[in-house]
Amino acid sequence: MTTAKKVASKSSKSELGIDVKDLKVHYDTPDGVVKAVDGVSFSLRQGERMALVGESGSGKSTLAMALMRLTRAPGRIAGGQVYVGGRDMLDLDEEEMRLQRLNEVALVPQGAMNSLNPVMKIKNQLLDGLYDHQTEGDQKMSKEEQVEIVEKLLTAVDLAPSVAEMYPHELSGGMKQRVAIAIATSMEPRVIVADEPTSALDVVVQRNVMQTLGRLQEGLHASIILIGHDMGLVAQFSDHVGVMYAGRLVEVGPVKTVFKSPKHPYTRLLIKSLPTLSNKKDFIGIPGLPATLLNLPEGCAFCLRIGQTNPEKIPWVNVAKDHFIQDCKKCSSYGK
Ligand SMILES: Nc1ncnc2c1ncn2[C@@H]1O[C@H](COP(=O)(O)OP(=O)(O)O)[C@@H](O)[C@H]1O
Ligand SMILES: [Mg+2]
């Protein structure tokens, strides 16, 4: 599809960018099945930004890889649908899916700065993805076209064209992260999944890189799923937030509403554990140990964290406009 056509087909504001239904990703381990993503559903319109937060081990990266259909053994996608542009990604054959990556869905992987090839010049890493998507009938790019495309991609992420001739070790962490973002957006994807894109950077660089990512995403009118454990950073960037606990979403809603009035006990604890000037003397952490995802029961996973049990299936409840929680009768008032 040409860029003009693509932009036209992506321009409808109300069109869904991504629609995830009951996605399950399991790891088969010698000790049993780890349900790292256990029935996750959410959708985003084009141009919308959603943050996915949750502590380490809650299944965020597993979810990100599954959205790209990059799950590898011992992991497997155990169920669900991932609609992008009206097609279920999980239903495509391998070749069709290869063409969808970068073109429709693109990932800025966790630790993206280490995902660059150390022995390849930046320009070749930028062109790699584009070549990979050429089909047999396509004309080869001329040298001039290559230089032009590389320059355009680098400029879009605020890097100098001279970076094209460099190797990753010659770049700072922030610059490498910008290259990773340039690769992810090189084919103007409809959906961008960014897995902790700035967690290894200092706060000033973090902010600048996020601004660049946001500007690109807006320009493409792409949906973006920003994964992070830092509630503060992701909240600044996003319109919506989804909170993950033990492989499940437990609360979703507009960032402002969720921050102002978190309804799930785990979200409340996450927000309370953010450092502020007024509580700087008392560090408020989250009690208990993170859930083990092995043989997790059907019912409420958070109850186990606080020494309770509720084996019943927990319903979704609409608590405010666009704001939903997994409403467990046993633990919902915990930490109020
Ligand atoms: N290759 C693997 N084999 C077995 N379990 C795994 C594997 N990768 C991840 N897991 C488990 O899946 C869960 C979620 O991991 P992950 O998606 O990396 O979480 P997050 O990104 O939120 O930190 C963790 O309990 C982790 O131990
Ligand atoms: Mg992760």
Instruction: Show the tokens assigned to 240.
Output: 């919506």
Across-strand partners of 134?
none
Q: Specify the ligand 1 atom closest to the Cα of 64.
A: 17
Look at residue 165 and tell me if it is in a domain: no
User: Could you tell me which of 77, 76, 73 has the C-alpha nearest to residue 20?
Assistant: 77
Look at residue 44 and tell me if it is in a domain: yes
CA distance 209 to 176: 10
Low-confidence ranges of the chain (pLDDT < 70): 1-14, 135-138, 275-285
CATH of the domain at 285: 3.40.50.300
Number of domains in the chain: 1
Question: Amino acid identity, residue 34?
Answer: V
HEC states along 169-222? HHCCHHHHHHHHHHHHHCCCCCEEEEECCCCCCCHHHHHHHHHHHHHHHHHHCC
CA distance 50 to 241: 5
27 CB under 6 A from ligand 1? yes
pLDDT of residue 11: 46
Which residue is closest in CA terms to ligand 1's atom 6? Answer: 27
34 CB under 6 A from ligand 1? yes
Which ligand is nearest to the Cα of residue 52, counting in written order? 1
Element (H, E) at 29: strand 16-29
Look at residue 155 and tell me if it is in a domain: no
CA distance 137 to 190: 24
Which residue is closest in CA terms to ligand 1's atom 27? Answer: 57
Look at residue 101 and tell me if it is in a domain: yes
Strands across the sheet with 32-45, in order? 32-45, 16-29, 75-84, 87-88
pLDDT of residue 274: 73
Look at residue 160 and tell me if it is in a domain: no
Look at residue 122 and tell me if it is in a domain: no
Q: Give the domain extent around 219.
A: 3-114+189-326
58 CB under 6 A from ligand 1? yes
Look at residue 265 and tell me if it is in a domain: yes
Other Cβ atoms within 10 Å of 209 Cβ, number = 23
Look at residue 88 and tell me if it is in a domain: yes
150-173 residue pLDDT tens: 999 999 999 999 999 999 999 999
Q: Please tell me whether the overall predicted TM-score, pTM, comes out greater than 0.85 for this model.
A: yes
191-221 residue pLDDT tens: 999 999 888 788 888 889 999 999 999 999 9
